[in-house]
Amino acid sequence: MNSFRNKRKIEFDSPETKQMIKRNLNFDLDDSSVMLQPQKLFTYIDESSCDSGFSQINDDISDDDITQASNLEDSFTSSSHNESFNSIENIETEPIASIPTMQEEYSNEKLIGDMTKPHTLPILVKSRHSDLASIEPETLIDLINGKYDDQIGKFVIIDARYPYEFNGGHISGAQSGYFKQDLFDKIFSQPIESPNGKPVILVFHCEFSIERGPKLMREFREMDRSLNTNCYPNLFYPEIYLLEGGYKQFYESNQDLCEPKNYVPMLQDQHRNDMKFFRKKSKTWEFETKKNKSLKVKLDFDF
């Protein structure tokens, strides 16, 4: 229900969108074969997406790549699981797209969530999640070291890993995002403001930024949208980012910016029971959330 309301109908024959549509869908709007069916000349932009929806879509990553990456965590709970962590690590860090040239590696063309301006930080053109604004570890280092102090008032790093991973080593100053509801209550009940009025940005990540980090980031944006339904497209936090490669890639070259200076993998043998416990708890929360949403939709229809 909410997802339908959050999608905007865009007419293909609008002069403002012709160029975007021609680029994203790869056909000529003047082609007679297309114009024979004008009733089909529209698309929907998902306004709940972390991306503004008005920038080029990245189609370089295949569905198989994303499916393989997103199912890696589930493979651990299989009774026939005998793979070592090193073999899983190699799969998740395997390149999934050609290395971009320096000229096309970064972009600031995508708009932030309230569609008022481009992103402040340089975002990757090619990343695992085309709907999210992704940054490299080097960009986060620059942010921590004050390179963007003249443009950004405050920043918050949110770590979506399980508590034993976070306690074993995290980026200095990061907040744990595992207890999602507590995080949302804290960060939305009294939205963070910078004393100088400059933007407040959030950076999300998990171990590899493949599953948990992106999921939390999308849920965060969905919550922000729902709280600002009456003043669309305003948001409390319009500028949010995903750390490409996650904590693992950051830790490999920046241990001095981690506390403690350590890295505990999710699949570490000594934390196997912890992983099962927290994973089960996450699934329970997810089920309860879906149940509450279904109930809300039913009540909306009843009234």
Give catalytic residues, as residue numbers. 206
How far is residue 144's CA from residue 147's CA, in Å, rounded to a whole number? 8
Those residues whose C-beta lies under 8 Å from the C-beta of residue 3, and which sit 6 or more positions away, are 46, 48
What is the rounded distance in angstroms from the CA atom of residue 195 to the CA atom of residue 63? Answer: 44
Residue 76 class from Cβ within 10 Å (0-12 exposed, 13-18 middle, 19+ buried)?
Answer: middle
Q: Single out the residue of 10, 18, 13 nearest to residue 46, CA to CA.
A: 10
Note whether 251 and 145 are within 8 A (CB): no
Rounded distance, CA 250 to CA 140, Å? Answer: 9
Q: Count Cβ atoms below 10 Å from residue 268 Cβ, excluding itself.
A: 15
Helix extents (H) in 110-211:
137-144, 163-168, 180-189
Q: How far is CA 181 from the centre of its chain?
A: 18
Sequence-distant (≥ 6) Cβ neighbours of residue 166 within 8 angstroms: 159, 174, 176, 178
Q: Give me the sign of the Cα torsion angle 126, 121, 243, 101.
A: positive
> Residues with Cβ < 8 Å from 292, sequence gap 6 or more?
none
Instruction: Please answer whether residues 210 and 128 qualify as being in contact, where contact means their C-beta atoms are separated by less than 8 angstroms.
Output: yes
Sign of the dihedral defined by the CA atoms of residues 139, 203, 246, 58, in that order: negative
